[in-house]
Amino acid sequence: VSSSTIEVTFHPAGVTAQATAGVALSEAAASVGVAINAPCGGKGTCGKCRVRVRSGAVSEPTAQELQLLSSEELEAGVRLACQARALGECEVETAGVGDVVVRKDLDEDALRHYPLEPRVKRRALALDPPELGDQRSDLLRLWDKLGTAGCSCRARLAALERLPGVLRGDEFNVVATMLDDLLVAVEPRDTARDPYGAAVDVGTTTIVAYLVNLNTGRIEATCATLNPQTRHGADVISRIEHARDVPGGLEELQGEVVGAINALVGRALQDVGAETNHLFELTVVGNTAMHHLLLGLDPQYIAQAPYIPVVSQPLTLYASDLGIEAASGGQVFVLPIVAGFVGADTVGVMTAADITSRGPTLAVDIGTNGEIALWSGERLLCASAAAGPAFEGAKISQGMYAAPGAISAVTLNGEDLEISTIDGEPARGICGSALFDATAVLLETGALELNGRLAAEADGLPPGISARMSGEGNGRRVLLASEDIAHNGHPVYLTQPDIREIQLAKGAIRAGVEVLLAEAGISADDLEAVLLAGAFGNHIRPESAVRMGVLPPVDRERVVAVGNAAGAGALMALCSESERGLACRLAVEAEHVELAANPRFQMAFMETMLFE
Amino acid sequence: VSSSTIEVTFHPAGVTAQATAGVALSEAAASVGVAINAPCGGKGTCGKCRVRVRSGAVSEPTAQELQLLSSEELEAGVRLACQARALGECEVETAGVGDVVVRKDLDEDALRHYPLEPRVKRRALALDPPELGDQRSDLLRLWDKLGTAGCSCRARLAALERLPGVLRGDEFNVVATMLDDLLVAVEPRDTARDPYGAAVDVGTTTIVAYLVNLNTGRIEATCATLNPQTRHGADVISRIEHARDVPGGLEELQGEVVGAINALVGRALQDVGAETNHLFELTVVGNTAMHHLLLGLDPQYIAQAPYIPVVSQPLTLYASDLGIEAASGGQVFVLPIVAGFVGADTVGVMTAADITSRGPTLAVDIGTNGEIALWSGERLLCASAAAGPAFEGAKISQGMYAAPGAISAVTLNGEDLEISTIDGEPARGICGSALFDATAVLLETGALELNGRLAAEADGLPPGISARMSGEGNGRRVLLASEDIAHNGHPVYLTQPDIREIQLAKGAIRAGVEVLLAEAGISADDLEAVLLAGAFGNHIRPESAVRMGVLPPVDRERVVAVGNAAGAGALMALCSESERGLACRLAVEAEHVELAANPRFQMAFMETMLFE
């Protein structure tokens, strides 16, 4: 391996990494914010980080690659990004499974009403030009007009540097931008443009940014990507270990998430024709590990008893302190967290629901962790269940994120299954919502037994379904998409081991729900509403969630799928100072129920792993 | 000129600049914070930037050098730093006239009493270790102990990054450092050390930093240097023009002053064995131009009618926003200014004197600009007179700063003059205080006529003095130090053109004083006290200042030399929040009297240029 610098270009992102020859493709990709899915943490065992090398010199296939890739794939230039090393200039395609395209649309019209009162305020001002009889400084002149005169003032230095030219640029007609009482920008009135903000949901697996025009409150662009930290492993524990055990690991993880946010928000700004200096505020939600890693805070004590986070309070920071690109003086509001594993994402869910203004309500956010909030009418209880990344496609043999070609829904149509894919493209794999559906349908038809075993005999099953089943024991599987409707003719199956992963994941979440209900002294029947959050392609269908048992048995009408509720909470905090206050109050009011090492949880889990 | 990179090492500073071959020695010096005096702005006309090249390849002497340097000097390697260019590695001595050694000692015991109540506060805390029944975050645990619990909090991110390790480092015994309600540092209690602050006086010509232990309020180190911006010219107008006319000029000037402050404060910290992360706050005074250049603010409108500064209010900034090296979260408080040419230095002088708590008082700060404050008992008036840098040694043929070997006092001893030099070293030149003395003594003995002409005839003069006078007309001069007591045997003279420069400088300041007295409707007799500020080697002697006429004729007992009063104001603002408040109130209360283009000033100046 020579030490010369080479360039690796990634498509369709169209970005080029500069690195030392011999760099793993996954590492080169991460260095420029291109996320490649690698749930095994780069060990070469999951085979999910497939990329295609279009041209250029790369290393010979490793033993892992020879085992996981077909000869046709190798022939076509397909490689594992964690294994293949660039030896010279090369061009690499990352499109396909593990693509950067992830859907987390948020329909702001479907959200409850909240007032538009962003922290960013704009004031158009006509100042009196100075003269010998009025030698007030440029800033004081502005200040007096803002009606905030006084001895002391708060202004961002960068807003002052060009102030003389700005004031004199349009005859002392200016637009001033304030963050609370801090002056962050002054522009000539004739060229000023609307201020923007971004609500960012940092998930363990995916990161999504909503770009909002703060004058209208409308989302003008949504961008999502895989969290580039996934290359160190799919779950939060692998990230925490990386931060703790690898020298410089914390800085590396922070750099990855910051780089991904910058890339996302930059793309969103480009989409609407705006620039970084129009972006004045970001709000961020994420679980506690993501929260700490974004802030560069040592996360190790979250993961060991007594599970103590560094900081739980809401934080307002300069974007520049985090390396996040925004207007000079632009700020980041990080929603508060509740406890070690109940993060700002849960606070976002509770805020989006305004949960304590309702009757008894259960909110469940299904992701790599299952975040659970229960408002009993008197107490607000929270917990986090480590569901693992199964519902986001990891550990599922043909699992994938909600990208085009993902099977996103499975329904029973007469005697057979019917599937639909995102964008109607040929099926490439299965995403979260379809796992719920498929499990529910298979249970309903008897193809899946309550103990989680796929029926060994096809007797009595609908003929269409029995025709889809094949294999024995752990090799038994259900065909979801046959080769004629699948991408590249590779059929998509749901396997017996996949079902086991689903059982573990749904069991963990459901056990958490049961513990909270017991702690609050209420039963599922007492619940007025069950809010089902989780940002999969075509949201989870409530009936499937109840049927497969991740939720307790309640009337279908009481279950409401609310999409990316954590992201909605971030959006509300961005657009409304009173919603921000609500988030802070809810975080203080919430009581954390520790599930780890909780005997009641262990007991419940033994039961909830099974189906009903 | 090749484009290779070379190294130029400066002694006695011992620092090495890296630059492109062909760089002027003055530029290489500025790039590493070594200030070389160049009042002509690098035109090669003043001859003050002499350095000695010990070894290495430099360009051939220019026409200017051949004119200004003697053949002995050239033989010895003496060159003008603005003319000589380094062609390869070289070693350069900057000691001598224009040395970086400048004295601005401040005796804090001689100042009026002020309370020690710095903004930086320390709290030693013993926290309760966390347990499963007490899962508060590390920060909240600290916060609760500080007694400042609440939903929102202010903490510096950098203080949190290592917080888990710090808390667990000394069994949850910590020392927290706060700036107001902002947590900036947490240290294990067993290794915490006293916090430091620095009061910085940024003069047009010299910069001085006082390093203060904020637990004791004592100055532990004082460092001073020439302002490296002097290489662009001695007065503020040349700097403002550089910022306005040269692309990148403002950034260059800002970088120079920031670099000098970092070098000064770094040296001071090293002197006391402390480190950058022990420095939590700096306070800064300076005239309006220095103030704007430090902050990177466009200064051009200060210099043209109606003379408008960008900002006049006091500013509190993160040191990092200015590139000033301090503890993470460390801040800079910049004292307010009054108007275009009445700067934070004047506010510092007024604060140090607590001027409005006295009877009618005049305060005059003699530097490159003469800053004048008059408290009439009812009104507080301020003005700034452009005295030019004569009193700091520029434009005086053998003028120099208050460095070792500078003649700092001249007295009449019987029939002859007697001089004394700083540190008793052989005389190298004349510094400001001696200019006042010499003028006063020469006037007193009749050797200097009231119209400013040196007596052409020696008749009637004390014999010692008449023996010192030689030459005719503009070439007439007075020997201050003969070759036997002078450095390198070069005698030191005060010349007729020097006297003319002194007349202009003292006339400008005195005219300003007269305008303020008239505006306030009082006379010099009404003054209870005259405070004479100005930081020359061995402060200005009041009797000389009155005799040579820079001050109005008042009883000797009423004149008090207060040394570097601007620096004292910065010191008080650093050590005491109530003094900081006083500075803010005085800046608001002060009325600015514009002298530029003021007919009354022009009239007064015609008179005050003459002696009395």
Q: Kindly state the helix (H) or strand (E) to which residue A17 belongs, with its residue range.
A: strand A15-20
The number of residues making up chain A comes to: 612
* pLDDT tens digits, one per residue of B286-313: 999 999 999 999 999 998 888 899 999 9
The SS3 assignment for B259 reads helix
Torsional sign, CA B508, B509, B512, B518: negative
Q: Which range (A288-302, B8-22, B581-595) has the least confidence?
A: B8-22
For residue range A367-401, list pLDDT tens digits in order: 777 889 999 999 999 998 887 777 777 778 888 77
Of the candidates B160, B295, B587, the beta carbon closest to that of A157 is on B295
Q: What percent of chain A has pLDDT over 90?
A: 60
Cis status of the peptide bond prior to B306, with omega within 30 of 0: yes
pLDDT at A276 over 70: yes
In a 10 Å sphere around its CB, with 0-12 CB exposed, 13-18 middle and 19+ buried, how is residue B385 labelled?
Answer: buried
CA–CA dist A33, A528 (Å, integer): 43
Three-state helix/strand/coil letters over B487-535: HHHCCEEEEHHHHHHHHHHHHHHHHHHHHHHHHHCCCHHHCCEEEEECC
Cα separations (Å) of A320 from A180, A220, A269, A282, A324? Answer: 18, 24, 18, 12, 6
Counting one residue from A and one from B, how many pairs have CB atoms under 8 Å apart? 156
B354: which 2 tokens?
């607590």
Which of these, B223, B221, B196, lies nearest to B207 by C-alpha position?
Answer: B223
| Cβ contacts of B312 on chain A, cutoff 8 Å | 136-137, 139-140
For residue A247, whether the previous peptide bond is cis, meaning omega lies within 30 degrees of 0, is no
Q: What is the pLDDT of residue A13?
A: 64
C-alpha neighbours within 13 Å on the C-beta side of residue B168: 11
What type of residue is B223?
A: C
Residue A579 backbone class (left: φ over 0; alpha: ψ -120 to 50; beta: rest): alpha
Average pLDDT (A263-283) is: 94
DSSP code, position B166: H
Give CA–CA dist B442/B465, Å, rounded.
9
- CB distance from B452 to chain A under 8 Å? no
Half-sphere exposure of B339 (CA within 13 A, CB side): 27
Contact check, Cβ <8 Å, A139/B340: no
CB–CB contact B311 A138 (8 Å): yes
Q: How far is CA A68 from CA A288, A443, B90, in A?
A: 34, 32, 63
User: Is residue A505 within a helix (H) or strand (E), and if so which, with residue range?
Assistant: helix A496-520
Q: What is the mean pLDDT of residues A88-93?
A: 89
Structure-block tokens of residue A488: 């590249």
Q: Is A233 exposed, middle or buried (0-12, 13-18, 19+ CB in 10 A)?
A: buried
Residue with tokens 């207060």: B562
Report yes or no: A286 and A338 within 8 Å, Cβ to Cβ. Answer: no
Report whether B586 contacts B355 (CB < 8 A). yes
* A 282-311 residues with CB < 8 A to B: 295-298, 300-301, 305-311
Amino acid A377: pLDDT: 96
High-pLDDT (> 70) share of chain B, %: 95
| B248 touches A at CB < 8 Å | no
Higher confidence at residue A590 or residue A9?
A590
The backbone torsions φ and ψ at residue A174, rounded to the nearest 5 degrees and listed phi first, read -140, 165
pLDDT, mean of residues A577-599? 91
Other Cβ atoms closer than 10 A to B521:
10
The more confident residue out of A463 and B489 is: A463
Q: Assess A580–B contact: CB distance below 8 Å, yes or no.
A: no
d(CA B308, CA B287): 14
Can you say how many angstroms the Cα of residue B420 is from the centroid of all Cα atoms in its chain?
Answer: 23
Q: By the 8 A CB rule, do A106 and A211 touch?
A: no
Please judge whether B139 and A313 are an interchain contact, meaning their C-beta atoms are less than 8 angstroms apart. yes
B397: nearest Cα among B435, B433, B443: B435
Q: Mean pLDDT, chain A, as a whole number?
A: 89
Q: Inspect the interface and report whether the beta carbons of A151 and B312 lie closer than 8 Å.
A: no
Q: For residue A59, what pLDDT is reported?
A: 94
CA separation for the pair A469, A467 (Å, rounded): 6
Using DSSP's 3-state secondary structure scheme, residue A536 falls into coil
CB contact under 8 A, A310 and B588: no
Of A138, A298, A312, the CB nearest to B162: A298
Chain B residue closest to A300 (CA)? B164
Of A186-200, A446-460, A533-547, B356-370, least confident by mean pLDDT is A533-547
B257/B243 Cα distance (integer angstroms): 13
User: Which of A396, A406, A378 lies closest to A102, judged by CA?
Assistant: A406
- What SS3 class is residue B591? strand
Cβ contact B107:B218 at 8 Å: no
Q: How far apart are CA A484 and CA A495, in angstroms?
A: 20
* A311/B155 Cβ within 8 A: yes
User: Does residue A42 belong to the interface with chain B, where contact is any CB pair within 8 Å?
Assistant: no
ipTM of model: 0.78
> Does A99 score more than 70 pLDDT?
no
Which of A140, A165, A301 lies nearest to residue B164, judging by beta carbons? A301
Backbone angles phi, psi at B407, to 5 degrees: -70, 120
**Which of A157, A297, A584 is closest, CB to CB, to B151?**
A584
The answer to whether B596 faces chain A, any CB pair under 8 Å, is: no
B413 contact partners, CB below 8 Å, separation of at least 6: none
Residue A451 has a CB neighbour count (10 Å cut-off) of: 9
Is A587's Cβ below 8 Å from some Cβ in B?
Answer: yes
- 259-278 in chain B: CB under 8 A from chain A: none
Average pLDDT over residues B33-46: 76
- Name the H helices within A127-231: 138-146, 157-161, 163-167
Which pLDDT belongs to residue A2?
46
Cis peptide leading into residue B404 (ω within 30°) = no
All residues of chain B having their beta carbon less than 8 Å from the beta carbon of residue A316 are 152
The shortest CB-CB distance from B135 to any of A137, A295, A307 is to: A307
CB contact under 8 A, A135 and B306: yes
Which residue type does B305 have? A
Q: Give the count of beta carbons closer than 10 Å to the beta carbon of residue B117.
A: 13
Sign of CA pseudo-dihedral A438, A444, A448, A450 = positive
Q: Is residue B101 predicted with pLDDT exceeding 50? A: no
Chain A: give the shortest CA distance to residue B289, in Å. Answer: 13
Alpha-carbon distances, residue A252 vs A231, A248, A249, B456 (angstroms): 12, 6, 5, 80
Q: Does B336 touch chain A (CB under 8 A)?
A: yes
**pTM across the whole model:** 0.79
Listed in sequence order, the residues at least 6 apart from B439 whose beta carbon sits closer than 8 Å to its beta carbon are B448, B499, B502, B506, B544, B547, B548, B611
Residue-wise pLDDT tens digits, A26-55: 888 877 767 777 777 778 888 878 888 988
Question: Which residues lie below 8 Å from residue A546, measured CB to CB, with a gap of 6+?
Answer: A553, A554, A556, A559
- pLDDT range class, residue B33, cuts 50, 70, 90: low
Residues of B whose CB is below 8 A from A164: 297-298, 300-301, 308, 310
